[in-house]
Amino acid sequence: MTSHTFADLVGDEKEFFAEYFNKKPLLRKGALKDPQGILSLRRLDELVQLEVIRPPYLRANLKGAGVPDQGFTQTVTVQGTDLTDAIVPEKVYELFRAGATIVWSSLNHLDSSLRSFTRVISDRFGAKTDCVAFLTPAGKQGFSPHHDPVDLFIVQTEGTKRWRLWNPAEVRKGEAASYTAEQLGEPVIDVLLEPGDVLYLPYDTPHAAAAEELASVHLSIMVRPRMWKDLLKQTFEELVREPQFNEFPFIGADREAGTEALFAQKLRAVAERLTAVAPGSELDRLAELGRRMPGNSAGHTFLSTARLDALEADAPMRRTDAVVEFGTPADGRVQLTVNGHRIAVPAPVADILAGMAAGQETAAADVFPGVAAERATRMAQGLARIGLLEAAA
């Protein structure tokens, strides 16, 4: 599969964000090389024949209506366990020959090459992405005119498909909706997409598509935007992780008189923390959270965990993205909670861990000062095994 960049999809990135992002559709003819290397009919055949993709990962739409799962699945026994919705390839093929559009949802969950392709977008936006593939028979329209509550990047990989697009409404609610032809009027874009062509649709952009003389394969890469209210909620949740916000007050009609004053105190405490937030670094954190949402993640945990067995004292270590709760120091030790694990470490170790900025590296043996290098390395290895540290190299 050819490696692609975000600029391959949108062209001039500054122009894209200034003129099109969140405003109006963008058409890029011949934007991508080797489109079949991204997804081909041959690859879709392979996915069906593997018989491991089950609903809702695979769906069928015939004459504008969804086909019940029972129309293309059966019960099979795998290692003594009955699977009631295993795909029957020939039934899927029968539906396609009858004019059904076959839809593969969230292919980035199932195909590592498509996961890498969609990460080009999720990394740039700092947001969750999903990749949906549509196989439409020649001369068939998959779905009636509608809009989706997500930004879309449409990538044509095989065959042709005619797309009609209308500008989003001035007021957008971020909810799915369908239309009649009379409601929409003349489209702002009416184009036959060919392999390598790319369309960008801001969320709530009305659109309709139909294959013409050739069967069509296209990808819809959905960018799930987080509105300000979503981002603020995530910031708030981070700010109230401290133990003082874990108390459980009684707020019913018979609550104590001091409960309201205590609530006001908590509100002031949150307000103080909100005021102290550094906007730039917090937006960076939120973007990284978006990149790591389900369907976007990438890593080599098996490999890196196995390599811990050979960890050396001078091996560079760094904090992972796992959330760590630091307790109050007591008797020279601090209790840490990370990934469901609760451990107590010497206060100097807690200070080192708390002070490790994003990306900062510390030699394995130096995480536990004053301890023999071999023993300190084994202890750092233990912190890595519970997901608090990781090898930097």
pTM of the model: 0.76
88: CB partners within 8 A, 6+ apart: 72, 73, 74
Neighbouring CB atoms inside 10 A of 23's CB total 12
Neighbouring CB atoms inside 10 A of 187's CB total 17
| Whether residue 256 is found in the same domain as residue 345 | no
Burial of 219 (0-12, 13-18, 19+ CB in 10 A): buried
CB 361 within 8 A of CB 320: no
User: Pick from 241, 219, 1: which is nearest to 113 by CA?
Assistant: 1
| Whether residue 259 is found in the same domain as residue 385 | no
| Whether residue 17 is found in the same domain as residue 57 | yes
State residue 112's pLDDT score. Answer: 87
- Structural domain count of the chain: 3
State residue 16's pLDDT score. Answer: 96
Q: How distant, in Å, are the alpha carbons of 7, 30, 84, 153, 207 from that of 197?
A: 14, 5, 39, 10, 16
User: Pick from 127, 128, 129, 126: which is nearest to 284 by CA?
Assistant: 126
Looking at residue 379, which CATH number applies to its domain?
A: 3.90.930.40
| Whether residue 242 is found in the same domain as residue 198 | no
**Which residues, in sequence order, are bridge partners of residue 103?**
59, 134
Q: 3-class DSSP state for residue 113? A: helix
Domain that holds residue 245: 228-291
State residue 143's pLDDT score. Answer: 66
Taking only the tens of pLDDT, the chain with its 393 residues reads 678 999 999 999 999 999 999 999 999 999 999 999 999 999 999 999 987 789 999 999 998 788 999 999 999 988 999 889 999 999 999 999 999 999 999 999 988 899 999 999 999 999 989 999 999 998 877 567 888 889 999 999 999 999 999 888 878 777 788 887 778 888 899 999 999 999 999 988 889 888 888 889 999 999 987 889 999 999 999 999 888 888 889 999 889 989 999 999 999 999 999 999 999 999 999 998 888 887 777 767 778 778 888 889 999 999 988 888 999 889 999 999 998 899 999 999 999 998 887 678 899 999 999 999 999 999 999 999 998 998 886
| Whether residue 80 is found in the same domain as residue 164 | yes
Q: 3-class DSSP state for residue 320? A: coil
CB 386 within 8 A of CB 337: no
Residue type, 45: D
Asked if residue 296 is part of any domain, the answer here is no
| Whether residue 112 is found in the same domain as residue 20 | yes
CA distance 292 to 320: 12
CB 318 within 8 A of CB 157: no
Q: State whether the Cα torsion 31-36-37-38 is positive or negative.
A: positive
| Whether residue 91 is found in the same domain as residue 195 | yes
| Whether residue 274 is found in the same domain as residue 311 | no
CB 324 within 8 A of CB 337: yes
Asked if residue 272 is part of any domain, the answer here is yes
Looking at residue 192, which CATH number applies to its domain?
A: 2.60.120.650
pLDDT tens-digit series, residues 115-137 = 999 999 999 999 989 999 999 99
Burial of 156 (0-12, 13-18, 19+ CB in 10 A): buried
State residue 358's pLDDT score. Answer: 65
